[in-house]
Chains A and B, each alone.
Chain A
Amino acid sequence: MALSAEESGRLARLLSEHADRLTQRWTERVGASLRGRLSQAEFARQVQELHRSMIDATRNGLTELSAEQGGELRAVLAELSRGRARQGFTATETAISVFAVKDVLLELMEESPDAGTLRDFVAFSALIDQMGLFTFESFVRTRESLIADQAEQLLELSTPVVKIWEGVVAVPLVGTLDSARAQVVMERLLQTLVDTGSPYAIIDITGVPAVDTQVAQHILKTVVAARLMGADCIISGIRPQIAQTIVALGIEFGDIATKASLADALRHVLRLTGVDSARRHQRRES
């Protein structure tokens, strides 16, 4: 238990008696730590909100931040740290916004010292420490969800399937190909084949930094799946070093066509589909 019910009541009284002075001093300290990266009005509002919910919670006899009475206070703290995390503040800067109230409380309590002051301050500190830790946890959680979101966005951004000719789609792979990405690429390519009715697909690996057995395995699986659906795949964009690695590792692409560049691959496909018409045109011209 961070503090007893009586101590909680005394904290509520202290917070509400000197409300104006307390919020003003608190705002000053928070402002100093944020060094002007957040507008005065913005963090003054945050401090006031925090102050008000602290009074509410302690009036209801809050003894522990995790208790039922702390619900609103926790929500306010979580909101504060979520905002800070998204705006790019550090964890320390976020936590100081909460810890600053300790100094202010100490100032207020030193003005009228009595036998219980020290004991009270220690108890109040314990509660504020809990608040600080909670802030930190929310901050970390927000950051983690941000990272997860970004990873997902990256997954979507980096795997486009583009139609480059009537009946020909291309997948320019960029970045390292792991199992998750390979799965997304495969699903998206196959779906595009169905949607566009394209019988040819070119997988361009110019942007893949390294090809090992696992990456090759993923590419081969995609090609086999496309074949099952009735589309043919061509692998293009194999750089010299990658060609050497492929041979050194003994990776067999079997009867899958491989080309050095996307242009070669496209020419290959066009030859497969349009050779007759091209010849006829030439004959007609001659």
Chain B
Amino acid sequence: MERVPVLKIGDILLVSIQVDMSDQTAVTLQEDLAERIVATGCHGVIIDITALDIVDSFVGRMLSTIASISRVLDAETVVVGMRPAVAITLVELGLSLNGIRTALNVERGMELIAAARADEWVLTDGDEDAETTATT
């Protein structure tokens, strides 16, 4: 059975889908990813679908599920590299993949996750400052 590799780059897990997604592959990917997020403690997941010619409703749902799972585990999911033809087909089918962040390419996806993380850091920084001023 084909397996989709999950690569760890810094604080981000990169999933590059290079094979045709069968139902079994999709289910295995969900399980693998959940395990890896917990094991590595990463806070970002990038799913690269540049190589996917066809995204049907099942794959669409899989992407949504992965995003939900990651959110529960405190990781941000970004789907990157969707082809124009795929996007047009999804729109015509009425699937708008609600709740999924998207970016044009892996680089932009990493920026997006970094920006989302930076926002959180700014918030925590602010809190710490408030605490220090309160204690002094």
- Interface residues, chain A, CB within 8 Å of chain B? 186-187, 190-191, 193-194, 197-199, 221, 224-231
Question: CB-defined interface of B97-136 with A at 8 Å, one 1/0 digit per residue?
Answer: 1000111110011000000000000000000000000000
B90 interfacial contact with A, CB 8 Å: yes
Tell me the bound Cα distance from A163 to B5 in angstroms. Answer: 36
Contact B91 A224 (CB under 8 A): yes
For B95, the closest partner residue in chain A by CB is A228
For B103, the closest partner residue in chain A by CB is A230
Question: CB-defined interface of B75-93 with A at 8 Å, one 1/0 digit per residue?
Answer: 0001110111011101110
Q: Which residues of B contact A193 (CB under 8 A)?
A: 84, 104
Contact A229 B87 (CB under 8 A): yes
B40 interfacial contact with A, CB 8 Å: no
Contact A199 B87 (CB under 8 A): no
Q: Which residues of A contact B25 (CB under 8 A)?
A: none
Contact B80 A230 (CB under 8 A): yes
For B102, the closest partner residue in chain A by CB is A230
Contact B105 A226 (CB under 8 A): no
Contact A228 B104 (CB under 8 A): no
Q: Which residues of B contact A191 (CB under 8 A)?
A: 84
Contact B91 A228 (CB under 8 A): yes
**Most chain A CB atoms below 10 A, which of B78, B79, B83, B91:** B91
- Option from B88, B97, B102, B105 in Cβ contact (under 8 Å) with A186: B88
Contact A187 B103 (CB under 8 A): no
Q: Which residues of A contact B84 (CB under 8 A)?
A: 187, 190-191, 193-194, 225, 229
Size range of the interface on B? 20 to 34
Tell me the bound Cα distance from A114 to B104 in angstroms. Answer: 87
Tell me how far the C-beta of B91 lies from the nearest C-beta in chain A, rounded to whole angstroms.
5
- Option from B78, B102, B105, B108 in Cβ contact (under 8 Å) with A228: B102
B18 interfacial contact with A, CB 8 Å: no
Contact B97 A228 (CB under 8 A): yes
Contact B87 A190 (CB under 8 A): yes
Contact A228 B103 (CB under 8 A): no
- Option from A194, A197, A221 in Cβ contact (under 8 Å) with B91: A221
Tell me the bound Cα distance from A225 to B85 in angstroms. Answer: 9
- Option from B79, B87, B92, B109 in Cβ contact (under 8 Å) with A226: B87
Tell me the bound Cα distance from A190 to B86 in angstroms. Answer: 10
B22 interfacial contact with A, CB 8 Å: no
Tell me how far the C-beta of A217 lies from the nearest C-beta in chain B, rounded to whole angstroms.
11
Q: Which residues of B contact A187 (CB under 8 A)?
A: 84, 88
Tell me the bound Cα distance from A197 to B102 in angstroms. Answer: 13
Tell me the bound Cα distance from A227 to B96 in angstroms. Answer: 9
